[in-house]
A and B are shown apart, each in its own frame.
Chain A
């Protein structure tokens, strides 16, 4: 596994762990990187700020809330592709 691939796997696992720990709803048994986070109620407005901070920390760069586009927090796969892939690389 390349360093980039290892970093991606670690980032995805960290995001999954955060959701399991912080979700307001019951995390389904088949939860994976394509499970809708907001539509399923796993992430609500109560957690969205913390999730933003987690992503900022992982990418070591701030995110401008006004630049956020619809759907960017749809699922972990989208979060990784939108905010982390270009920073962590794989």
Chain B
């Protein structure tokens, strides 16, 4: 838990204790302008934009052992079993108890998980394909990560993530991240924000026994752009051929494609604006149109 006061009574923010925020003006407009700025950054590489559903097949994420690495973060969309008698029992009782808990009863088999990171869709979408050259993509998703506690705009169960993804050779993906970081640094400087990049690891379940965590410790491939040394508002991630192998995506020579991504947590950018410049939009630096 952080000792920093929570963001409350911010115009344009309605917080719900289940870890979700409703945005209206002026925060909503700022969120849209920031996202357009990141899309403009993606245009630097003529990135193709894709829009995906809010959930992804669990079988796809099983390819990267997601559920052993991050079981604590996963949120599953579940449905009542279509059995007529079960549905009748559900409706005959109190579907929602006084404490807000749903009396679910028998559930239909689940095969999906609510999107935990926007870029996963892109790897699943291109599974089994071969690229003749370096490709770039961008997508925005509402992402879901179950946490032990939530903070308005800073740590939410559902939040908005914009990502720019490069699929190419090792050299191309490394160059992409260098260029993306430079563009982002310029943007941050223009805004007058003081942020710093720092090596990071993903929040693995039982990390000490997870080889991917060990690998991230000794060979940092993830760096976060931190506000106040605590709040990551963007991350750059070099995956090597991890996703290329897992999803059988090939480069021109038939070898697994290398991938890298730059990710932006939109609500966290809003938090940084409010903490840095105040809640009054008159004090905010110009982001764009």
The residues of A with any CB-CB pair to B shorter than 8 Å are 38-39, 44-46, 48-49, 52, 64-66, 68-73
Contact = CB atoms under 8 A, between A and B. Distances in A.
B208 interface: yes
B207 interface: yes
Given A65-B207, A65-B208, A70 B215 contact: no
Residue with the greatest number of chain A CB neighbours at <10 A, chosen from B209, B211, B212, B219: B219
Contacts of A71: 218-219
In terms of DSSP, what is the predominant structure of the interface of chain B?
helix
A48 B211 contact: yes
B214 A49 contact: yes
A25 B211 CA distance: 18
6 contacts: A38-B219, A45-B214, A48-B211, A49-B209, A65-B208, A73-B218
B215 A45 contact: yes
A83 to B, nearest CB: 11
B273 interface: no
Residue with the greatest number of chain B CB neighbours at <10 A, chosen from A38, A48, A52, A73: A48
A49 B217 CA distance: 12
Interface of B: 199, 207-209, 211-215, 217-220, 242
A65 to B, nearest CB: 4
Given A48-B218, A70-B217, 20 more contacts: A38-B218, A38-B219, A44-B215, A45-B212, A45-B215, A45-B242, A49-B209, A52-B214, A65-B208, A65-B213, A65-B217, A66-B207, A66-B217, A68-B217, A70-B199, A70-B218, A70-B220, A71-B219, A73-B218, A73-B219
